[in-house]
Structure 1
Amino acid sequence: MKPDHELADTVKARTSDAELEAVVTSLQNSIREWATRHELWFDCGFQSYAKRIDGEPGTTPVATILYFDGDLGRALDGDFAGLDIEFVELLEQHGFWYERNDGASAHIYPQDESPLFQPLLDYANWQWVCGLVQQDIADVHEELYSHFAKRPDDLHRLTWREFEILLFRIFQSQGFTCELGPGSNDGGIDVRVLQRDPLGDILTLVQAKKYSPKNKIDMSAVAALHGVADVENAQKSIFVTTSNYLPSAHKFAGRTRIPMTLATSNDVRDWCQNASDGIIRDKSKLVAPSAVSNLLQTLSSKDPRIVHAHTGYSVIMNQFAVVLKETKHAALLMAIPARNISHDGYGQVGFEVPDIGLKCLERLTADHVFRAKRSVNHGQVSYWDGRNLFSAWNGEPAHFNLCD
């Protein structure tokens, strides 16, 4: 294996995923060897930020997350003389530093001046964008579009199915009624786009091919799409590829009875830019104040739209929110204040509940409305904003303890 400084130089020149992963693997191996030598490597491991946090990356990339349950955590806390200093020095030799995230994990970052900094940040953002390729995140995550508007070459990094879903989402963002094909046995059509029109609905059939730039589309492929469009009485068809077209394909498309568009990555880039421009960044503008007012007036203490999360490291705090809008994979939440109902006389330890009422309308601002990923496990719905995991409040007062 190359020494780390040689790997870093390689990464600076070329920033492929494999090269970045090689640097991170080298770092992980060194940490594991160090911890094993000191008999600390028990119930430990590494996870990526995308897998463990599943949230939007910050401005400093997390190269890897070290998780532990036992003596390794105590060593980092300085309980074993000198080992915490050794660990810091070990990371510095590789060009990294760390910060405790909670009682069971530490985030490891590249140093600011490291040639790995920007490549790792780009990689973290790429993993985040890939996690957004879902069928219904709509107006919640604009990065899905803005990333490919800026970096159309990254379309080649998608799987063929992710490419189909991205196109599906782009057409949906334009206000069309769309149907995503099953991905196999779809009759050669990946997306059906229906444009409602007073003079008659317009059906457009979309065929997607994620090919390498050298693998150009020939006449037979576009002829097949035209044949399906004719059978289904479609008014338009669009062939979309990450490669390009042979002259015979262009010639055929120019002579079809049903209008056919031949699109490439450049067109997808433009579509993504239009979709990104059309998304409202201030998420509080996505929900009308009247709708929020009606919601607040109908809430009860057992309403599943009131959600709660425990926050804080070494202290216990509470965060309450109201679900304003949700789809299968995403949601918009509005943070609401907590009301203290009992405490120790100093306000340090006690119980609190969400302070629900029309005054919460004041929270309908960009600072308090945030997006979260929605998931369902064993019938229980949860919302993850990258920092806190929210679930339905049980209606009982929530404990807080601000004593560190």
Structure 2
Amino acid sequence: MKAGEADETGTPRPPSDGELDAVIANLQRSVQEWATRHELWFDCGFQSYAERVDGEPGITPVVTILHFDGDLGRALDGEFDGLDLEFHELLERHGFWYERNDAVSAHIYPADENPLLQPFLNQANWQWVCSLVQQDVADVYEELYSHFSKRPADLERLTWREYEILLFRIFQSQGFTCELGPGTNDGGVDIRILQRDPLGDILTLVQAKHYAPKNKIDLSAVAALHGVADVEAAQRSIFVTTSDYLPSARRFASRTKIPMTLATSGHVRDWCRDASDGIIRDKSKLIAPEAVSRLIQDLAAHDPRIVHANTGYSVIMNQFAIVLKETKYAALLMAIPARTISDDGYGQRGLEVPDIGPGCLERLTADTVFRAKRSVRNGEVSYWTGSNLFSPWNGAPAHFDLCD
């Protein structure tokens, strides 16, 4: 059955990722052939939104990004008579449109009437959610949980390791101290959960099996987990799977001396819903004002916790922020104002520095505290918000130019 054809219930089957990729590849091939014909295809190429932006998708998904350095960009700016209109018509025939993103790239979107608009958006959201499945993202991201609470069937699309990491993050979100196993040679335990209790700590062992729905868990797998729980003197155990359990496994679990829970994707859906409800959406609430006040007082002129990003396409603007909290993969940043130290007399061009002082504390609001992905390359730390790339400020005044 092909995409769009109805199944036995009359429901059209959505296109697979492979079918969507084929549509994009055909579009890219047409664009390259057009540009080559006009001798414009030099230092050009395509990247996915996930590769180039690595940010949360918008309401209309970017199906591919055309990047260039040379005449193709000038053609799209209308410098070659009629080629910009010709390019627009080419995309329109395929059901797409484009928008210049910056001086060296253009984002290509599906048209509103394109029947693949929603499937492309679903694909973009899925790629974003998968990028959030990390061992260490603190409690910054809500989409990770809300996605699976609404679409538990997508648990089957994760890799087995992503599945284990997701469960690990869910249990952490419930306030437990958790230890994620190495993924292989783990002795039959994927996650250890320690619940602090006045009457004695409670150790729970978790075994996760990322299986196809038809591959049900048998008695031997459940018995193995119980054996490990007995040896480690655990108080509880949880077996979690994307499939289901054979009756013999359920009978065994109901008779174990150490309480055992047999969980399926339905349970994970409920856990994700609880985790999503527990996320603090106003990120400013994650940091106490007293901690921010101490941080501001402690900041030095060249402190790496002060970060900077250049913004603007045809103009040059600056954005400064303070790193409030960071983990290996994520960070919370708070925007701070810029202070002009010199200009051209009209306020159009000049130099700026971050305005660090007691007034920064007033900026601890939901509108100014935002999340970012943290990464380290060649020893350099950067923070990506999905639209701006922040890096530690070097202490030198930053140039701005508001003349378009």
Which TM-score bucket, shorter chain as reference? over 0.9
**How do 1:264-283 and structure 2 match up within 5 A?**
264-283=264-283
Are residues 1:173 and 2:194 paired? no
More displaced 10-residue stretch of structure 1: 265-274 or 18-27? 18-27
**How do 1:60-99 and structure 2 match up within 5 A?**
60-99=60-99
Matched AA of 1:235 = Q
Instruction: Show CA shifts across 1:331-388 (max 9, x none).
Output: 0000000000000011111000000111111211111110000011111111000111
Instruction: Show CA shifts across 1:126-152 (max 9, x none).
Output: 100000000111210011100000000
**How do 1:5-404 and structure 2 match up within 5 A?**
13-404=13-404
Distance 2:343 2:261 in 1: 67
| Mapped contact 2:3–2:16 kept (Cα < 8 A) | no
Superposition misfits of 4+ residues, deviation over 3 angstroms:
6-13
| Mapped contact 1:330–1:372 kept (Cα < 8 A) | yes
| Mapped contact 2:3–2:15 kept (Cα < 8 A) | no
TM-fit CA distance, 1:64: 0.6
Matched AA of 2:119 = P
Instruction: Show CA shifts across 1:295-339 (max 9, x none).
Output: 111112111111001111121110000011110000000000000
More displaced 10-residue stretch of structure 1: 326-335 or 9-18? 9-18
| Mapped contact 1:9–1:115 kept (Cα < 8 A) | no
Matched AA of 2:395 = G
| Mapped contact 1:241–1:265 kept (Cα < 8 A) | yes
Q: Secondary structure of 1:254's partner?
A: helix
Instruction: Show CA shifts across 1:256-304 (max 9, x none).
Output: 1111100000000000000000001111111111111111111121111
Check 1:260–1:303 CA distance in 2 against 1; reply closer, same or farther (3 A cut): same
| Mapped contact 2:3–2:13 kept (Cα < 8 A) | no
TM-score (norm 1): 0.97
Tell me how large the CA RMSD over aligned residues is: 1.4
Q: Secondary structure of 1:323's partner?
A: strand
| Mapped contact 2:174–2:275 kept (Cα < 8 A) | yes
| Mapped contact 1:12–1:115 kept (Cα < 8 A) | no
Distance 1:171 1:29 in 2: 46
Distance 1:184 1:272 in 2: 25
Distance 1:172 1:335 in 2: 28
Check 1:7–1:168 CA distance in 2 against 1; reply closer, same or farther (3 A cut): closer
More displaced 10-residue stretch of structure 1: 315-324 or 34-43? 34-43
Q: Secondary structure of 1:139's partner?
A: coil
Check 1:12–1:252 CA distance in 2 against 1; reply closer, same or farther (3 A cut): closer
TM-score (norm 2): 0.97
Q: Secondary structure of 1:92's partner?
A: helix
More displaced 10-residue stretch of structure 1: 157-166 or 49-58? 49-58
| Mapped contact 1:216–1:245 kept (Cα < 8 A) | yes
Distance 1:350 1:129 in 2: 41
More displaced 10-residue stretch of structure 1: 145-154 or 112-121? 112-121
TM-fit CA distance, 1:7: 7.4
Distance 2:3 2:173 in 1: 42
Matched AA of 1:219 = L
Matched AA of 2:179 = E
Distance 1:187 1:25 in 2: 44
Distance 2:156 2:305 in 1: 40
Q: Percent identity, aligned pairs only?
A: 78
| Mapped contact 1:8–1:23 kept (Cα < 8 A) | no
Matched AA of 2:126 = W
| Mapped contact 1:75–1:84 kept (Cα < 8 A) | yes
Aligned to 1:3: none
Distance 2:12 2:35 in 1: 29
Q: How many pairs align? A: 399
Q: Secondary structure of 2:59's partner?
A: coil
Distance 2:220 2:361 in 1: 58
Q: Secondary structure of 2:304's partner?
A: coil
| Mapped contact 1:7–1:23 kept (Cα < 8 A) | no
Distance 2:3 2:164 in 1: 35
Distance 2:4 2:403 in 1: 43
TM-fit CA distance, 1:113: 2.2
Instruction: Show CA shifts across 1:2-58 (max 9, x none).
Output: xxxx97889974232112111111111111111111121111111111110011111
